[in-house]
């Protein structure tokens, strides 16, 4: 019996029970739609965060403190200022190190430009001009004086009248003090479109957080450092040197809490860590979708068994007019594969639709997870085969004499 | 105990001491040593009361069932020696079924129903659609090709079933109470059609319990308790013969035949 004829007969049977067929495929549709939706969202998120970074490799790395939360997984950043001026100086002496730029938050609550005030939106960071060694400026350049500042694009666009180089900014601190700075440059955001509006001012003049060092002195200390290597080839040795120093000889090693860890991450490490997280999420979603697909295939198998029972007499008739066991198996298998394939196709379409809606709402780029679409269709057909095998086998071994007597 | 010689011409179906036993509480010989030969182009009716073995004989001749003892040949092939798949193929090519309850596929149109045996039998590669159309025209349903069974009357459904039975040019058309669900007028139409088909060359075996229906045939086989009680020739010209072989086994079987239904 050729495939076209079995497709025709199976299709009639599916169409004869439209509602039942639709409900049957719903499990597969939901499973596959969930996978595709999350793959689109995950892909869009990755693309948004990592896309720009991967394009340009920088010989730079970030030093931060991390802790593992008691419950939950992953890591959390700790904002304790433990990297002292002495640590910064010591690191700068190491071979291959081009610069060490410390960075720490300032408790700025309000920024004002040209009479327009933004409260609680702008994040102010104190750092050194070295931090912008590898930055790309859309306008102007790094700050070069006590009363100058760099803003990122988000901050520049946060005001109604876009801020550009030469504009005045007035920053209000939590304690009510204000300071006035001139914008020296507008820097491109390094990480995606989700970066908050930021203003960078020189640390020497604006940063005041100090800690007591193990030697008993009061020194300024920062929660974050950025280390620049002389070239791309120096990145790995510098990373090693920095880890060795920070973990053993630095003030930071003594100042950090016992559970905290000092992490020196290159841009590549950050991407890797991010990819790991996305990977874990993918496995999780895959498991959820897997359950939905198992449920879906049980649904198909169930309906196929009902269908075999209902059509016992038809099976008898088909056997009487010359259908072999193989023909009957083929008919029912084709029917369940068609159900699975419909589930896959509708699921992919729904998944892409929801995914598209999601990335559109979140402002991420649309990513078409083609390999997942292919996997989904293959899985849908596979689900059809697996769930159709047993019912088809039952149908094939129906005794035609009994079947023709069946009411 | 009277032996009947096979008439002239090739036999479409030959049964020799065919026996089929059901193992219920005690063994029941539903068909008990039947010897029968149906010549090509003959029209034979099988009559008998309920439980006389009509259905079992029908299933055996239709290759739906296999004999426990004896030899049954359909279209020159011994049914008992065939595999399941080979019997399915044989049903498709050598036998056309017509049932009391029509047994059309409910969701297929008339022409698709007629095509069905051709679909299962890939050997007839020729234009299936064309052949199905001409068969339906032959039974007077040329204007009902695309109708589903639910849109047809009982008589029309049975005509579709007749056309379907002829799809693969079978050696034998098996009609099991084909008019049992029809009114008298329609019954006459269907029977006339069967006679027409027979006169055009088809071999027909008809199962019925109505004398009036049986009289359309040329020969009537009377079954009783799984055995051929008598063979009646309504017109002597046909080459149908039933033989009851006087074998040793037959005598023994008769003595154990108390449990027959």
Work out whether strand B219-224 and strand B227-233 pair parallel, antiparallel, or are unpaired. Answer: antiparallel
* Cα of A324 to nearest chain B Cα, Å: 5
- Examine the pLDDT at B11 and tell me if it is beyond 90: no
Q: Which of B66, B92, B117, B150 to mutate to test the interface with A (most CBs of A within 10 A)?
A: B92
- The per-residue pLDDT for B255 is 37
Please indicate if any CB of chain A lies within 8 Å of the CB of B146: no
Mean pLDDT of chain A: 86
pLDDT in tens, A363-403: 888 888 888 889 888 988 999 999 999 999 999 999 999 89
How many beta carbons lie within 10 A of that of residue B190, not counting itself?
23
The residue in chain B having the minimum alpha-carbon distance to the alpha carbon of residue A6 is: B119
* Cα of B159 to nearest chain A Cα, Å: 16
Distance CA A355, CA A32 (A): 12
Residue in B85, B97, B106 nearest the CB of A321: B97
Residue B249 lies in a domain: yes
Surface-to-core class of residue B163, CB atoms within 10 Å of its CB (0-12 exposed, 13-18 middle, 19+ buried):
buried
Distance CA B19, CA A31 (A): 56
How many beta carbons lie within 10 A of that of residue A296, not counting itself?
29
User: pLDDT category, A42, cuts 50, 70, 90?
Assistant: confident
- The per-residue pLDDT for A390 is 94
Which strand (E) or helix (H) includes residue A98? strand A97-106
The first and second tokens of residue A310, run together, are 């209902």
- Examine the pLDDT at A56 and tell me if it is beyond 70: no
Mean pLDDT of A70-75: 71
Residue in A1, A12, A16 nearest the CB of B120: A1
* Cα of A21 to nearest chain B Cα, Å: 16
Give me the CATH number covering residue B50. 3.40.50.300
- Beta-carbon separation of B105 and A314 below 8 A: yes
Residue B219 lies in a domain: yes
Contacts of A325 in chain B (CB under 8 A): 84-85, 88
* Cα of B87 to nearest chain A Cα, Å: 8
Mean pLDDT of A326-338: 93
Distance CA A3, CA A26 (A): 25
Q: Among residues B47, B39, B46, which one has the least CA distance to residue B14?
A: B39
> For the ranges A112-121, A223-232, B228-237, which has the lowest average pLDDT?
B228-237
Which strand (E) or helix (H) includes residue A22? helix A18-55
Q: Please tell me which residue, B81 or B8, carries the higher pLDDT value.
A: B81
Mean pLDDT of B202-220: 91
Strands (E), A15-95: 60-67, 76-78, 83-84
pLDDT in tens, A8-33: 888 988 888 899 899 989 988 988 99
Mean pLDDT of A279-307: 85
CA atoms within 13 A on the CB side of A209: 20
Contact A319, B88 (CB under 8 A): yes
Please indicate if any CB of chain B lies within 8 Å of the CB of A235: no
- Examine the pLDDT at A280 and tell me if it is beyond 60: yes
Residue B160 lies in a domain: no
Residue B113 lies in a domain: no
The residue in chain A having the minimum alpha-carbon distance to the alpha carbon of residue B168 is: A321
* Cα of A23 to nearest chain B Cα, Å: 21
Q: What totals of helices (H) and strands (E) does chain B contain, helices first? A: 8, 11
Mean pLDDT of B162-169: 91
Whole-angstrom Cα Rg for chain A: 32
* Cα of A40 to nearest chain B Cα, Å: 41
- Examine the pLDDT at B2 and tell me if it is beyond 80: no
Q: Among residues A361, A342, A365, which one has the least CA distance to residue A25?
A: A342
The residues with which B69 forms a beta bridge, in sequence order, are: B19
Locate tokens 């290159």: which residue? Answer: A266
Please indicate if any CB of chain B lies within 8 Å of the CB of A48: no
Residue B4 lies in a domain: no
Surface-to-core class of residue A120, CB atoms within 10 Å of its CB (0-12 exposed, 13-18 middle, 19+ buried):
exposed
User: CA A126, A127, A129: angle at the middle one, nearest 5?
Assistant: 135
- The per-residue pLDDT for A191 is 59
Helix segments in A59-104, DSSP class H = 85-93
Q: Please state the separation of Cα B1 from the chain's center in Å.
A: 25
pLDDT in tens, A115-153: 888 888 888 888 988 888 888 888 888 888 888 999 888
Residue B5 lies in a domain: no
- Examine the pLDDT at B221 and tell me if it is beyond 70: yes
Say how many residues make up chain A.
Answer: 407
Reduce the DSSP state of residue A125 to 3 states and report it: strand
- Examine the pLDDT at A319 and tell me if it is beyond 90: yes
Q: In what order do the strands lie in the sheet with B11-23?
A: B77-78, B69-74, B11-23, B27-39, B241-242
Distance CA A364, CA A381 (A): 31
Residue A101 has phi, psi (to 5 degrees) of -110, 110
Please indicate if any CB of chain A lies within 8 Å of the CB of B82: no
Contacts of A320 in chain B (CB under 8 A): 62, 64, 91, 97, 103
- Beta-carbon separation of A321 and B108 below 8 A: no
- Beta-carbon separation of A1 and B116 below 8 A: no
Residue in A322, A325, A326 nearest the CB of B91: A322
Please indicate if any CB of chain B lies within 8 Å of the CB of A400: yes
The residue in chain A having the minimum alpha-carbon distance to the alpha carbon of residue B83 is: A324
- The per-residue pLDDT for A222 is 92
What are the distances in angstroms from CA B205 to CA B12, B111, B125, B217? 11, 25, 28, 9
Q: Which of A312, A321, A326 to mutate to test the interface with B (most CBs of B within 10 A)?
A: A321
Mean pLDDT of A275-288: 82
Please indicate if any CB of chain A lies within 8 Å of the CB of B189: no
Q: Please tell me which residue, A192 or A78, carries the higher pLDDT value.
A: A78
Q: Please state the separation of Cα A161 from the chain's center in Å.
A: 33
The ipTM estimated for the assembled molecules is: 0.84
Contacts of B59 in chain A (CB under 8 A): 401
- The per-residue pLDDT for B161 is 94
The first and second tokens of residue A232, run together, are 């791309």
Work out whether strand B172-176 and strand B95-98 pair parallel, antiparallel, or are unpaired. Answer: parallel
Residue in A12, A322, A401 nearest the CB of B88: A322
Mean pLDDT of A273-282: 81
Residues 6+ apart with CB under 8 A from A192: A48, A49, A50, A51, A52
Residue B15 lies in a domain: yes
Mean pLDDT of A261-270: 83
The residue in chain A having the minimum alpha-carbon distance to the alpha carbon of residue B66 is: A401
> For the ranges A120-134, A264-278, B22-36, which has the lowest average pLDDT?
A264-278
Distance CA A324, CA A319 (A): 6
Domain interval for residue B221: 11-102+171-259
- Give the domain ranges of chain A: 3-51+274-405, 101-228
pLDDT in tens, A213-230: 888 888 899 999 989 888
Mean pLDDT of A51-72: 75
* Cα of A311 to nearest chain B Cα, Å: 10
Residue B260 has phi, psi (to 5 degrees) of -65, 145
Contacts of B62 in chain A (CB under 8 A): 320
- Examine the pLDDT at B5 and tell me if it is beyond 50: no
> For the ranges A158-172, A186-200, B193-207, which has the lowest average pLDDT?
A186-200
Contacts of A16 in chain B (CB under 8 A): 107
Q: Please tell me which residue, B258 or A177, carries the higher pLDDT value.
A: A177
Q: Please tell me which residue, A301 or B5, carries the higher pLDDT value.
A: A301
- Beta-carbon separation of B59 and A401 below 8 A: yes
The first and second tokens of residue A242, run together, are 């920095």
- Beta-carbon separation of B103 and A327 below 8 A: no
- The per-residue pLDDT for B248 is 33
- Quote the number of domains for chain B: 1
Contact B98, B62 (CB under 8 A): no
Reduce the DSSP state of residue B23 to 3 states and report it: strand
* Cα of B213 to nearest chain A Cα, Å: 23
Q: Please tell me which residue, A188 or A388, carries the higher pLDDT value.
A: A388
> For the ranges A295-299, B208-212, B234-238, which has the lowest average pLDDT?
B234-238
Residue B72 lies in a domain: yes
């Amino acid at each position: 019996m050729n495939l076209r004829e079995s497709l025709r007969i199976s299709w009639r049977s599916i169409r004869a029970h439209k509602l039942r067929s639709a409900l049957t495929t719903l499990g597969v549709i939901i499973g596959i739609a969930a996978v595709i939706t999350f793959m689109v969202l995950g892909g869009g998120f990755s693309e948004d965060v990592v896309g720009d970074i991967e394009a340009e490799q920088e010989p730079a790395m970030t030093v931060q403190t991390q802790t593992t939360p008691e419950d939950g997984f992953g890591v959390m950043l700790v904002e304790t200022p433990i990297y002292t001026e002495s640590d910064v100086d010591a690191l700068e002496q190491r071979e291959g190190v081009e610069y060490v730029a410390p960075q720490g938050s300032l408790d700025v609550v309000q920024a004002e430009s040209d009479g327009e005030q933004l409260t609680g939106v702008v994040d102010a960071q104190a750092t050194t001009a070295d931090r912008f060694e590898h930055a790309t400026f859309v306008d102007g350049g790094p700050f070069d004086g006590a009363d100058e500042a760099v803003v990122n694009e988000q901050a520049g666009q946060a005001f109604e009248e876009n801020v550009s180089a030469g504009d005045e900014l007035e920053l209000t601190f939590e304690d009510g003090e204000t300071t006035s700075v001139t914008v020296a440059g507008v820097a491109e955001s390094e990480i995606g479109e989700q970066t908050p509006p930021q203003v960078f001012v020189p640390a020497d003049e604006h940063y005041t957080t100090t800690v007591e060092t193990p030697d008993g002195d009061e020194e300024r200390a920062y929660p974050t450092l950025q280390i620049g290597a002389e070239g791309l080839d120096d990145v790995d040795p510098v990373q090693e040197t920095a880890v060795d120093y920070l973990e053993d000889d630095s003030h930071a090693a003594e100042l950090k809490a016992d559970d905290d860890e000092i992490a020196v991450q290159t841009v590549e490490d950050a991407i890797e860590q991010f990819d790991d997280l996305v990977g874990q999420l993918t496995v999780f979603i895959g498991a959820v979708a897997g359950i939905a697909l198992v449920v879906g295939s049980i649904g198909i198998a169930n309906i196929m068994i009902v269908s075999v029972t209902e059509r016992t007499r038809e099976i008898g008739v088909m056997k009487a007019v010359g259908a072999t066991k193989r023909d009957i198996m083929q008919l029912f298998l084709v029917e369940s594969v068609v159900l699975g394939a419909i589930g896959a196709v509708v699921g992919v379409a729904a998944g892409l639709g929801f995914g598209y809606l999601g990335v559109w709402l979140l402002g991420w780029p649309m990513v078409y997870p083609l390999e997942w679409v292919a996997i989904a269709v293959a899985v849908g057909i596979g689900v059809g085969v697996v769930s159709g095998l047993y019912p088809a086998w039952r149908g094939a071994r129906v005794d035609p004499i009994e079947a023709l007597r069946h009411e | 105990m009277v032996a009947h010689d096979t008439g002239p011409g090739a036999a479409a179906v030959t049964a020799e001491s065919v026996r089929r036993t059901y193992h219920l509480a005690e063994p029941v010989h539903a068909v008990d040593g039947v010897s029968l030969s149906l010549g090509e182009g003959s029209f034979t009716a099988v009559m008998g009361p309920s439980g006389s073995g009509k259905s079992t004989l029908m299933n055996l001749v239709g290759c739906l069932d296999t004999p426990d003892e004896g030899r049954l040949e359909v279209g020159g092939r011994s049914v008992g020696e065939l595999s399941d798949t080979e019997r399915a193929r044989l049903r498709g090519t050598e036998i056309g079924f017509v049932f009391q309850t029509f047994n059309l596929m409910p969701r297929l149109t008339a022409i698709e129903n007629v095509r069905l045996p051709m679909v299962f039998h890939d050997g007839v590669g020729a234009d299936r659609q064309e052949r199905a159309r001409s068969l339906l025209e032959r039974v007077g349903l040329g204007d009902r090709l695309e109708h589903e069974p639910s849109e047809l009357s009982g008589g029309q459904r049975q005509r579709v079933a007749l056309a379907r039975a002829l799809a693969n040019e079978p050696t034998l058309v098996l009609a099991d109470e084909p008019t049992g669900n029809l009114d008298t007028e329609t019954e006459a139409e269907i029977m006339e059609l069967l006679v027409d088909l027979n006169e055009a060359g088809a071999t027909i075996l008809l199962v019925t319990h109505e004398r009036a229906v049986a009289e359309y045939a040329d020969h009537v086989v009377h079954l009783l308790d799984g055995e051929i009680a008598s063979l009646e020739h309504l017109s002597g010209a046909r080459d149908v013969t039933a033989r009851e072989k006087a074998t040793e086994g037959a005598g023994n079987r008769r003595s154990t035949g108390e449990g027959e239904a």
